[in-house]
Amino acid sequence: MDRDLMRLMRSVKHPSHLKQIHALVIAAFPSLASFLVRRLLSVPMVDYAREVFDRIPQPEQSLSNSLISVYSRLSSHEEAIEAFRSMIRNGVCIDSYTVPPIVKSCLSAADFDLGKQVHCLAISCGLDTDVFVQTALMNFYSRGGELASAERIFEKMDTKDPVAYNCLISAYSKSGDVLAARKMFDEMPEKSTASWNSLISCCARNGDYRGALRFFERMKDDKCTPNEITLASVLSICAKLGDLNAGLSAKKFIDGNNLYRNTILSTAVVEMYLKCGAVGEARREFDKMKKRDVVTWSAMIAGYAQNGRPDEALELFENMKNENIKPNDVALVSVLSVCADSGSVKACEEIGCYVESQGMASNVFVASALLDMYSKCGNISKSRQIFLNMPKKDTVTWNSMIVGLAMNGLSEDAFAVYKQMIETGGQPNDITFIGLLTACSHAGLVEMGLEIFRHMKIDHEIVPQIEHYACIVDLYCRSGRLKDAYDFICRMEVEPNAVIWSSLLSASRIHMNIEFAELSVKKLAKLDPDSSWYYVLLSNIYSSTGHWKEALNVQKMMKGKKVQKVAAYSWVDVDNKLHRFLVGDTSHPRNTEVYGTVNGLAMQSTWVDHDFDSGLGL
DNA sequence: TTAGGGTTAG
């Protein structure tokens, strides 16, 4: 009868039949409980298996191992840990099968103390010479950032498992030690596909994309077969390089070798197209995919956003929700950024409500994007409210608030937030200072801007980027100090770009400075030959100052070069309707009122021409 | 053991 029942347990097709068999086991065959637990775990009906398990008076070691192993495989790490603790409490010995899953769960649950205790226990039980135990512990230490412990175990291994080599390569790679990773790879007696993959991702992780692609070629020369993981890495490298040719040849390899396109690999193809600017191709691949997960959707949405196609990004976000894929923080961050740039107050408010309804507003990434979005559509008080309610703030959070305040003309508040950032141990970066310099620029605080620029270089050791230089040039220009701006440009440690010369040109127009205008246009014509706006501006400056002949010459030259004036529209959102207008446009039915308001605003604005003490204590 | 998506500026 025992045997019949066991055969039955093996053969049942439907999980619920196991429950019926359970009744029989309890009633007549308690000795078969362990066998039933194993069957339940293999289905898996883990909770049910656990109930049966808990009623077994003295579960054998291998059964406890199976339970821990299943919990660990299903990412129920807390349960695995709990099961392990009760195993120890009940005096059950551990063996070499207990260690790998429990150590894996300790790592995933970030319970490093318990992981180390398991290691001690393994040593006291004499398991530390078992190759599976060693590999599991190496993995635990290298992923947990304790490279030295991992190295010690590796040194002690009698037979160095290939997996252990790969584990160390990956650990060195994560710690940025490319040389050590490379040495490990060279020392390996047998290189598997995974070894090559580790090496390729090591290069990629540390920024050597071309080196990674060279190893991909060498891998093929060595007759080592690339798999899906190799190609997913290679495609992601092509994406980062924006190298469409390399990306296409990787894709050809996938098709030519009939590699199975799992979701990750297909997403990598989509991503490669997106980062190379081939949005249409990306969408075609996306539409062809049979299964798309939240990463696929997020990548496509972000791709539209980054390629300047906000409407399609928002449309796709709706499709995503309709397909019952729950947007996570990454997807929301992209969508929030799209709304922030869309200029539509309605779209911003809708997504804002959605985010709050999903309980995602406390996520640090989402909240930062959310407060940025509100500040861009002018709702700075809402931004502040979100900012104040955030339990955790990262550099992006602080930056978003500083930049938001600066853009909304609240310079002093921006400085105050910076002060608070420093006091609470926040780490400012290059963008933080762009925000502060923008604040100075908007308030006309030249001396303070220069002081912040010095403070950034000296106290925070941040190397100024072209954007920082542009802020200073803008600062001088806005306060009419064109000569200072020009001298600063000449002293810059980087080559001035079109943005820099544009600032000087715009200021030259405001202050009718022909000398600097001509100079800037000469530079702009070289740096940005496809544009024409600077010729228009130069011609306007000539006409406004009575230099009719020069104005005519510029216009002639523009005709000769077939340079066309591109209409630059401005827009304003009133009651969720976008109104578009041109300079001097009178087509709007209420244009008289519009101009009346604009002129009224211009009368009200006053120029701050003195620096004030912000109390920043620089 | 090896693989994928995002925010702040310009």
How confident is the model over A183-239, as pLDDT tens digits?
999 999 889 999 999 999 999 999 999 999 999 999 999 999 999 999 999 999 999
Whole-number pLDDT of residue A572: 64
Query: Residue A274, CA: closest nucleotide via C1'?
Result: B5
Least confident of A70-74, A216-220, A298-302, A469-473: A70-74
Name the closest residue (CA) to the C1' of nucleotide B7.
Answer: A369
Whole-number pLDDT of residue A196: 96
Interatomic separation, CA of residue A432 and C1' of nucleotide B1, rounded (Å): 40
Residue A446 pLDDT > 70, yes or no? yes
Mean pLDDT across chain A: 88
Query: Residue A264, CA: closest nucleotide via C1'?
Result: B4
Per-residue pLDDT tens digits for A588-597: 777 777 677 7
Interatomic separation, CA of residue A159 and C1' of nucleotide B6, rounded (Å): 43
Distance CA A351, CA A376 (A): 14
Q: Which nucleotides of B are covered by protein (CB under 7 A)?
A: 1-10
**Which of the two residues, A404 and A607, has the higher pLDDT score?**
A404
**Which of the two residues, A446 and A564, has the higher pLDDT score?**
A446
Q: What percent of chain A has pLDDT over 90?
A: 65
Residue A25 pLDDT > 80, yes or no? no
Residue A322 pLDDT > 70, yes or no? yes
Residue A67 pLDDT > 70, yes or no? yes
Q: What is the pTM of this model?
A: 0.78
Residue A269 C-alpha from the chain's centroid: 18
Q: Are A567 and A582 in contact (CB under 8 A)?
A: yes
Distance CA A604, CA A607 (A): 10
Interatomic separation, CA of residue A176 and C1' of nucleotide B7, rounded (Å): 25
User: At CB < 8 A and 24+ separation, what contacts does A562-567 make?
Assistant: A563/A532, A563/A535, A564/A532, A565/A532, A565/A533, A565/A536, A566/A532, A566/A533
Whole-number pLDDT of residue A606: 40
- DSSP code, position A30: G
Residue A116 pLDDT > 70, yes or no? yes
Interatomic separation, CA of residue A228 and C1' of nucleotide B3, rounded (Å): 8
Query: Residue A239, CA: closest nucleotide via C1'?
Result: B4
Query: Residue A201, CA: closest nucleotide via C1'?
Result: B2
Residue A617 pLDDT > 60, yes or no? no
Residue A604 pLDDT > 60, yes or no? no
Distance CA A61, CA A279 (A): 56
Interatomic separation, CA of residue A250 and C1' of nucleotide B10, rounded (Å): 33
Q: Are A132 and A100 in contact (CB under 8 A)?
A: yes
Residue A607 pLDDT > 50, yes or no? no
Least confident of A200-209, A289-298, A463-472, A547-556: A547-556
User: Which residues is A577 bridged to in the sheet?
Assistant: A574
Distance CA A505, CA A493 (A): 21
Name the closest residue (CA) to the C1' of nucleotide B10.
Answer: A467
Q: Are A69 and A101 in contact (CB under 8 A)?
A: yes
Query: Residue A162, CA: closest nucleotide via C1'?
Result: B1
Most confident of the following: A44-48, A75-79, A611-615: A75-79
Whole-number pLDDT of residue A567: 59
Whole-number pLDDT of residue A593: 75
Residue A76 pLDDT > 80, yes or no? yes
Query: Residue A368, CA: closest nucleotide via C1'?
Result: B7
Whole-number pLDDT of residue A405: 96
Q: What percent of chain A has pLDDT over 70?
A: 89
All structural domains of chain A with their residue ranges: 464-562
Whole-number pLDDT of residue A570: 62
Whole-number pLDDT of residue A565: 58
- The confidence band for A74, taking pLDDT boundaries of 50, 70 and 90, is confident
Interatomic separation, CA of residue A487 and C1' of nucleotide B1, rounded (Å): 57
Query: Residue A474, CA: closest nucleotide via C1'?
Result: B10
- The confidence band for A433, taking pLDDT boundaries of 50, 70 and 90, is very high
Residue A613 pLDDT > 60, yes or no? no
Query: Residue A174, CA: closest nucleotide via C1'?
Result: B2
Whole-number pLDDT of residue A363: 93
Interatomic separation, CA of residue A502 and C1' of nucleotide B9, rounded (Å): 17
What number is the average pLDDT over the span A264-283?
Answer: 96
Query: Residue A232, CA: closest nucleotide via C1'?
Result: B3
Name the closest residue (CA) to the C1' of nucleotide B3.
Answer: A229
- The confidence band for A502, taking pLDDT boundaries of 50, 70 and 90, is very high
Query: Residue A338, CA: closest nucleotide via C1'?
Result: B7
- The confidence band for A560, taking pLDDT boundaries of 50, 70 and 90, is confident
Query: Residue A404, CA: closest nucleotide via C1'?
Result: B8
**Which of the two residues, A472 and A49, has the higher pLDDT score?**
A472
Interatomic separation, CA of residue A235 and C1' of nucleotide B3, rounded (Å): 10
Name the closest residue (CA) to the C1' of nucleotide B6.
Answer: A330
Interatomic separation, CA of residue A117 and C1' of nucleotide B8, rounded (Å): 42
Q: Where are the alpha helices (DSSP H) in A379-425?
A: 380-389, 395-407, 411-423
**Which of the two residues, A570 and A438, has the higher pLDDT score?**
A438
- The confidence band for A182, taking pLDDT boundaries of 50, 70 and 90, is very high
Residue A611 pLDDT > 70, yes or no? no
Interatomic separation, CA of residue A248 and C1' of nucleotide B5, rounded (Å): 20
Interatomic separation, CA of residue A240 and C1' of nucleotide B3, rounded (Å): 15
Name the closest residue (CA) to the C1' of nucleotide B4.
Answer: A264
Distance CA A382, CA A83 (A): 47
Interatomic separation, CA of residue A400 and C1' of nucleotide B7, rounded (Å): 9
Residue A574's SS3 state is strand
**What residues contact residue A158 under an 8 Å CB cut-off, 6+ apart?**
A129
Instruction: Please choose, from the candidates A302, A357, A227, the residue with its C-alpha nearest in 3D space to the C-alpha of residue A286.
Output: A302
Interatomic separation, CA of residue A319 and C1' of nucleotide B1, rounded (Å): 37
**What residues contact residue A501 under an 8 Å CB cut-off, 6+ apart?**
A520, A523, A524, A527
Per-residue pLDDT tens digits for A355-366: 999 999 989 999
- The confidence band for A159, taking pLDDT boundaries of 50, 70 and 90, is confident
Interatomic separation, CA of residue A54 and C1' of nucleotide B9, rounded (Å): 58
What number is the average pLDDT over the span A261-287?
Answer: 96
Query: Residue A236, CA: closest nucleotide via C1'?
Result: B4
Q: Are A434 and A468 in contact (CB under 8 A)?
A: yes
What number is the average pLDDT over the span A317-343?
Answer: 93
**Which of the two residues, A43 and A391, has the higher pLDDT score?**
A391
Interatomic separation, CA of residue A362 and C1' of nucleotide B8, rounded (Å): 17
CATH superfamily to which A464-562 belongs: Tetratricopeptide repeat domain (1.25.40.10)
Whole-number pLDDT of residue A614: 47
Least confident of A87-91, A92-96, A428-432, A555-559: A555-559
Whole-number pLDDT of residue A610: 40
Interatomic separation, CA of residue A535 and C1' of nucleotide B10, rounded (Å): 22
**What residues contact residue A533 under an 8 Å CB cut-off, 6+ apart?**
A565, A566, A568
Whole-number pLDDT of residue A280: 95
Residue A179 pLDDT > 60, yes or no? yes
